[in-house]
Amino acid sequence: MKKKMALLSLVVLAGIAGACSSKPDGSATNAAGGSNTGNKAVQEVKATDPYPNAQLLADVKWVESNAKDAKVKIIDARSKGYEQGHIPGAVSINSGLLKDSKNNSIVSKEAFTELVQKAGINSDSTIVVYDEASGNGATRVFYALEYYGLKDKIKILNGGYAAWTAAGKEVSTDVPAVTRGNFAPQPNDKLITTKTQLLSADLAQCTVLDTRSAKEYSGEDLRGNKNGGHVKGAVNTEWSEAIDQTPADGVPKFKSYKDLNDIYTKAGVTDKEKTIIPYCQTNIRGAHSYFTLRLLGFQDIRPYEGSMAEWANADDTTLVK
């Protein structure tokens, strides 16, 4: 058994090391060692261009039109407010339940199975997740569901509950009767990074993305950690930059494809076929950037789940200020 576990660890480690070990010949590198020339992501984006993965976002009209479809499951990812009112038919999954803070890891497969089956999620479900607006509760649930095997089957309601109520749609205080689901979660090791993997990876061949505030990145704000700063080579784009906080209708939503592309291009996150490793404090904000990068068409995104809660308090890691 020990031999099998050791072999599995080597396979997982080799996976991320391999994904971060190749670079096109004759290419320049950005601050994190990423290629800025000769890749498919460097192209002009027009203001009217749709997101490459636009299907990952839903609007109020889509939710309203599909809410009665038996295969569509609506998940309310807010930490509070469900009892006071929610989208009719929505089931509550508090995004805070997805973290095993004791081990700096995502919640176990067994615990996640109980959570999602209790919510009525099946293997053939299409899931719509929302939080207060366009925050990181819904995207944390999105990431967890994709990590455990439902990739490309989840949508985020753009603007969240705020968009729903601003549109004058019906809200409910009823808790829907739910038939236990049959979805059997299986973790996907290609959608996550561990401390051991990050320590061993060739960081010059990955793009490490720090999604925290500028003060956390610089080490000025320790956030309660023993050490401050960022992973060597990491570029910094705060997760909230993806959201238009001052829209005409007052509902924060994801910025346009062009605006998001400009933000990440400026930061040096350009190669959509390269391994991107987002992190924050506990991979709550990192998961939001995971979704944003998925929306933009990036193909290989592996958030560091332990993030700074683990890295900045370990004895075998280093930080740069």
Q: How many CB atoms lie within 10 A of CB 59?
A: 15
Under 8 Å between Cβ of 28 and 36:
yes
Under 8 Å between Cβ of 108 and 100:
yes
Which residue in 106, 101, 98 sits closest to 77, CA to CA? 98
Model pLDDT, residue 15: 55
pTM of the model: 0.89
Model pLDDT, residue 202: 84
User: Which runs of E-coded beta strand occur in the chain?
Assistant: 57-58, 72-76, 91-92, 99-100, 105-106, 126-130, 154-157, 207-210, 235-236, 243-244, 253-254, 275-279, 300-301
Model pLDDT, residue 201: 86
CATH number of 28-49+192-311: 3.40.250.10
Say which range, 10-19, 86-95, 200-209, 276-285, has the weakest mean pLDDT: 10-19
- φ, ψ for residue 207, nearest 5 deg: -110, 110
Can you spell out the DSSP letters for 158-186? TTHHHHHHHTT---B-PPPP-PPP-----
| Domain chopping of the chain, boundaries | 28-49+192-311, 59-166
Under 8 Å between Cβ of 145 and 207:
no
Q: What gap in Å lies between CA 68 and CA 70, rounded to an integer?
A: 6
pLDDT band at 43 (very low <50, low <70, confident <90, very high): low
| Type of residue at 232 | K
Highest mean pLDDT of the ranges 16-25, 32-41, 148-157: 148-157
21 CB contacts (<8 Å, ≥6 apart)?
Answer: 202, 205
Which residue in 192, 210, 206, 191 sits closest to 273, CA to CA? 206
* pLDDT reading at 56 higher than 90: yes
Burial 205-243 (b: 16+ CB within 10 A, else e): bbbbbbbbbeebbebeeeeebebbbbbebbbbbbbbbbb
Cα–Cα distances in Å, from 91 out to 77, 87, 130? 9, 9, 11
Q: What gap in Å lies between CA 14 and CA 34, rounded to an integer?
A: 20
Architecture (CATH level 2) of domain 59-166: 3-Layer(aba) Sandwich (3.40)
Bridge partners (DSSP) listed for residue 233: none
- Section 3-28 average pLDDT: 45
Model pLDDT, residue 44: 81
